[in-house]
Amino acid sequence: MLEEHYATWVTEDTFVQIKDLGLNHVRIPIGYWAMGNLTTDEPFVPDLSWKYLLRGIEWARKYGIRVMVELHAAPGSQNGWNQSGKMGQITWINGTTGWANAERTLLYLQNMAAFFASPDYMHVNTLMGLLNEPAAYAIGADNVMTWYRSALEAVRKSTGNGKGPWAIIHDGFLGLQAWSDFMRGSDRLMIDVHQFVVFSPRLMAMSRAAQLRTACEEWSADSIRSTATFGPTVVGEFSVATNDCAQYVNGIDGKPRWHGDCTYENDVSTFSPEYKTFLANFFNAQLDAFEQGIGWFYWNFKTETNPVWSYVDGVKHGWIPKDVNDRGPGFCVPNGYNVRV
């Protein structure tokens, strides 16, 4: 069943679509188990996903698309969420085995970096995410920052300075301002932030007009300030979703925190023209904001059920343009918003 999903969910046609939509990068998440070397108590299928990762990279190469490979799950779980491979307790840095798991993560990163710095991959795999969404608020900001220093050192030990992919750190939910001047002058280092409405009850409770203003003014200011004080800043995840009705978005058994009605949120046929207009405006407002940095990745390219998380559904139903490079003057400035610090 797992291999059937890998074999069919992303195909060569997926990369044809990505190219035709005007997109030039893809972000591919992998768990550490993709590289094997598991302990006896880790219930993952080793090595299988690596095979399909390499297949996807070859299609990206064929269609002129660059790839960011990101370590999405670390031994012990860096955040306790389902996307880290293990829900519940965080035992990455935290706990009696925490630092051992963190050190083990460095070995996986060294192997990834050496592989993608090789002549066969260096021109395709230009970006490498060191770790997705470490929960620095639970692990400790100083601990996560210390580990990131070690991670960049490990990566550059494998690639050599000036070689290999750009390394990308995540803000750890501390906010971009917490990383001002962090490791300034490092060899090709970027920072990634994930900007979502759906994980903030405060943002979900806002009016649509206020959500648009947040994108145009607050998120654009975040990108501008971070670019000035840290350096290259990318938004590695965002969507047009403004509620958390999507299946599994709050975990396998999670319930929506949004107090509205989720009944029709997965049924595009019930979306009003006004709602579709808002989705189009919100997409454009976010691009206006995130392009104050160096770029963005939509989360996700497609989904099983929820259309507002699906880039291809957005194109199909008209709130995302068929060519993202041809979206006119954007939303924020023509509508009087202040897109600057």
Set 70, 133, 217, 265: catalytic member: 133
Distance of CA 330 to the CA centre of its chain: 23
- Is residue 70 flagged as an active site residue? no
Residue in 278, 300, 294, 274 with CA at minimum distance from that of residue 212: 278
Report yes or no: 78 and 134 within 8 Å, Cβ to Cβ. yes
* Alpha helices (H) along the chain: 2-9, 12-20, 48-62, 98-116, 136-139, 141-159, 201-204, 208-213, 220-229, 273-290, 311-317
Residue in 113, 114, 111 with CA at minimum distance from that of residue 127: 113
What is Dmax (Cα atoms) for the chain? Answer: 59
Tokens of 200: 């903030």
- Is residue 217 flagged as an active site residue? no
Report yes or no: 173 and 137 within 8 Å, Cβ to Cβ. yes
Tokens of 279: 């989705």
CA 7/CA 49 separation, integer angstroms: 10
Set 237, 265, 291, 304: catalytic member: 237
Three-point CA angle 55, 61, 66, nearest 5°: 105
Give the residue numbers marked as catalytic. Answer: 133, 237
